Structure 1
């Protein structure tokens, strides 16, 4: 704020000076255009030169000369280096963020060693050395058992262990250079999962508080890694549930349709059989949580072509797809269940049938992909709609019975929408929107907006 006021005052002074010189002191007064030009040039020069001329060099900000000269300032800076390192580490990308592995531990030790006041740094799990950098590397080998007796003590006690002599370190190698150490436990919640140790080749022990702060920081990153892993497992479970949910009645109905056409229209039956195999091949073999929209679009078209073969003229399909959306990435097996619900619970119960529409757009300004599935079928009761839209569209356990159609069919829509919503929660957090509505004209509209990938 102070720097901004200084800059504003400088600009105001410039324009006052320009006006006084060009309009008051000079006779005749300069025209408006040259006056404004001079003012703009001087203002630009001051604004561009502000960081160095008014605020001073960035590296010197906040430093004051010491009575002892520059050496004292340099000593103070070196003394603050470890503390600054811990603060910087909080906002940097830590290798352990991916989990407690040998590679991540080694890269973390390489990152920590310059920040900590120690000759060697190690990270272990509860039984083995994962990484060791510094004196003693020849026998403190990754993948091997912990060589010291101090590190296992930190694991057993669940608190920091400080040792000040070689005997207390308890290294199995008699010629080990390590004499003192501070070893702090790494935790996930209350569970000790390893240690971080700082070792010295002298009797001067490393700062205990600094090592504990670093251990707490690493523990936080390990907890986040664990949450990420659990989140991925949960998302995978939702995806597996969607795969397992592919309605067996759909399969039986399509096979019956194929069987009925086998005698009268063998070529059409063969084509439907090929499409059915493509449908299940994609559903079962698709890997990962995301796929290009073009792939999901092909999957949906395959499904709807099979349903059209079954329903005949009772089912019409309209596509409105922006070409830009074809290369965007969307969660796999998300659009097809929405379309299946439209067919099964919207069109199938309607005697005269109806139309299912799929619309997709990309908004480059908000960086979102919008997908809209609508039908002009039997619609949805207000109580059912309220149950579905409550809590961002997460469906409760009781919705399965509610979502059955007038003919008693169904039973899986509630589970499907619940799995989709919970899976989107796992993948996007609160950065998506899933809404369900019933227009006055009839039918049901499901709109999904997800971040553009």
Structure 2
């Protein structure tokens, strides 16, 4: 828009100049036709020549900007450069040699340095540029400036070769800026920019980039901690399989071994499959078909123990079978329904498992319900708070110790909170879980996770 306005003003100026010269300054005045020819000719020349003039101007500006960056005049990258760098950084996976090598190659042209290095507290992880013959990845730090930055936790500006302090004679570096990489007030490494000439690298730009890399490293550390916690919760779910369940099933098998040996043998095979799945299943996800088979195996063992007191109803959409769901999530919900919903009541009861896939909404919906004794209001309130605030610790949410049926319900709540914490790690806010006690009795747990 600005270029069009300039061109319009130039055309108006041309016609004003032509009119002034041909009609006022020249005597006698020129006729209309020669005046128009002169004006049109000059106008065409301006219109056709303006793009080339503008392009040349932009080319000169671009060359000037490149020269400025090369000569260190553009010392501080603008916000756009830093944002682009932040999106491209590779240290989000941690301070590894591979990630550091990719990062230094990206940073070298951005930070106006002849050489760029990333180290940990002791060794060089990556180095690019002059001096790479002796500043080798995997070797100890050669520069005293780098050592001072790693040990002191402060940015070191070396203005001459003596302050750089390379331990190898003939090192081309004559100045450097080395900034520490800090994670939670702990120095984990350094970012160094070195020059072979008289210029000093832009200190503020190096510090800003070090802060960005430190943030990425901190996020990587948080991810590792969350993964460790998630694996611990998965192990806790595996360990949560109640020993009483094993003893009860074994007693059931023993009681049937004389009167119904074939049924006892079949139950023993199912029990082995049940525990084999819990031990051998790797990762956080499994096909719904696998989890469904695992749940059916568990319920068949419980039905052998409870007899007619336990009825099971399945309503499974075939589209769900190939979807991926969190491993060992459905079975604990079903176990809670059997143990804490139907177990305490004297009469028979029914556990229902329903699953649906929504291809349009890209979600899988799972419902586990029972018509048992329900859940105490205080435990339900604590569970609701855990769902809406997943960061709430299990100890805080569990409340004081209880006895009797209250203790059983509280134990069920702890198991559900464990599942909630795993879902929060795996999906963030992309899942939905709710627990309710209908007026008709029993407990209903609804889970919706992304379809994958």
Normalising by structure 2, we get a TM-score of 0.81
Greater shift, 425-434 or 245-254, is seen at 425-434
8 Å CA contact 1:400, 1:415 repeated in 2 = no
SS in structure 2 at match of 1:405: helix
SS in structure 2 at match of 1:147: coil
Q: Larger C-alpha radius of gyration, 1 or 2?
A: 2
Matches within 5 A, 1:38-437: 70-76=59-65, 79=69, 82-83=77-78, 84-92=80-88, 94-392=89-387, 396-398=397-399, 401=402, 405=405, 412-437=411-436
SS in structure 2 at match of 1:136: coil
Q: Deviations over 1:377-430 (max 9, x none)?
A: 12223333223222426661227737x538x76763122112111121222222
Q: Deviations over 1:354-388 (max 9, x none)?
A: 11111111222322221100011122233332232
8 Å CA contact 1:400, 1:414 repeated in 2 = no
Shift of 1:90: 2.1
Q: Deviations over 1:174-204 (max 9, x none)?
A: 0212221111110112111100101111121
Aligned residue pair count: 389
8 Å CA contact 1:181, 1:205 repeated in 2 = yes
Shift of 1:107: 1.1
Q: Deviations over 1:122-176 (max 9, x none)?
A: 0000111011111111111111110111101011221111112111111111021
Shift of 1:231: 0.8
SS in structure 2 at match of 1:449: strand
Gaps of at least 5 residues in structure 1 are 3-59
SS in structure 2 at match of 1:193: strand
8 Å CA contact 1:154, 1:185 repeated in 2 = yes
- The 1-side partners of 2:269 and 2:328 are apart by 20
Shift of 1:69: 6.6
- The 2-side partners of 1:254 and 1:374 are apart by 23
Greater shift, 148-157 or 380-389, is seen at 380-389
Normalising by structure 1, we get a TM-score of 0.81
Greater shift, 387-396 or 270-279, is seen at 387-396
- The 1-side partners of 2:315 and 2:96 are apart by 48
2:450 aligns with 451
Shift of 1:70: 3.6
Shift of 1:73: 4.1
Shift of 1:114: 2.2
Greater shift, 266-275 or 64-73, is seen at 64-73
8 Å CA contact 1:82, 1:117 repeated in 2 = no
- Once superposed, what is the RMSD of the aligned Cα atoms? 2.3
Question: Using a 3 Å threshold, how does the CA distance of structure 1 residues 409 and 189 change in structure 2: closer, same or farther?
Answer: closer
